[in-house]
Amino acid sequence: MVETVTLTIDGLEVTVPKGTTILQAAEAMGNRIPHYCYHPGLSAPAQCRLCLVEVEGAPKLQASCVTTVTPGQVVHTQSESAKTQRRGVLEFYLKNHPLDCPICDQSGECKLQDYVHEEGRPKGRSREPKRVLGRDDFGGDVLFYGDRCVMCTRCVRFMNEQAQDPRLTVVERGNRSVIDTFFEEGVEGSPYAGNIVDICPVGALVSKDFLHKARAWDLDRIPSICPNCSQGCNIELHVRDNLVQRLKPRDNPDVNQHWMCDYGRHRYEWMNRSGRLLLPKPGEGRHAGGNGAGDIALAQSLPEAGSWESVLGDLADLLVDARAEGAEVRAVASPFASNEDLGALRRFVDALGGGRIVFRSPRTDEELPLPGFPKLVRRRDLAPNVRGAELLQMSRVGSDDATGGLDDLVGFEGILVVMGDDLDDMAPDFGAAARVFAFLGPQVPRQLQAVTCLLPTVTHAETEGTFTNFEGRVQRFWPGLHTHGEARPAWQVLDLVAAAVLGDGTVPESAAEAFQRLADDHAVFQGLRYEELGTRGALVNDPVPLPGA
Instruction: By CB under 8 A, name the binding residues for other proteins.
Output: 45-50, 52, 60-61, 63, 66, 84-85, 88-89, 91-93, 95-96, 125-128, 150-151, 166-177, 180-183, 185
CA-nearest of 112, 80, 118 to 99 is 112
Rg (CA), the chain: 28
CB of 150 to other proteins, least distance (A): 7
Q: Tell me the three state secondary structure of residue 520.
A: helix
The bridge status of strand 74-76 relative to strand 52-55 is antiparallel
- E-only strand ranges, 409-485: 415-419, 436-441, 453-456, 465-468, 473-477
CB of 109 to other proteins, least distance (A): 21
CA-nearest of 349, 347, 353, 391 to 507 is 347
Question: Which C-beta is closer to other proteins: that of 153 or that of 516?
Answer: 153
Q: How far apart are CA 20 and CA 11, in angstroms?
A: 18
Alpha-carbon separation of residue 478 from 159, 207, 245, 352 (angstroms):
31, 25, 16, 31
Question: Which C-beta is closer to other proteins: that of 82 or that of 357?
Answer: 82
Q: How far apart are CA 437 and CA 452, in angstroms?
A: 5
Q: How far separated are the first and last CA of the chain, in Å rounded? A: 36
Question: Which C-beta is closer to other proteins: that of 89 or that of 434?
Answer: 89
CB of 224 to other proteins, least distance (A): 34
Question: Which C-beta is closer to other proteins: that of 50 or that of 332?
Answer: 50
Q: Tell me the three state secondary structure of residue 73.
A: coil
CB of 75 to other proteins, least distance (A): 17
Strand order in the sheet with 234-240: 220-225, 234-240, 243-249
CA-CA-CA-CA torsion for 295, 300, 303, 309, nearest 10 degrees?
50
Q: At what angle do helices 490-502 and 308-324 cross, to 10 degrees?
A: 50
Question: Which C-beta is closer to other proteins: that of 95 or that of 446?
Answer: 95
Question: Which C-beta is closer to other proteins: that of 127 or that of 212?
Answer: 127
Q: How far apart are CA 469 and CA 391, in angstroms?
A: 11
- Burial 448-464, CB ≥16 within 10 A → b, else e: bbbbbbbbbbbbbbbbb
Q: How far apart are CA 508 and CA 498, in angstroms?
A: 12
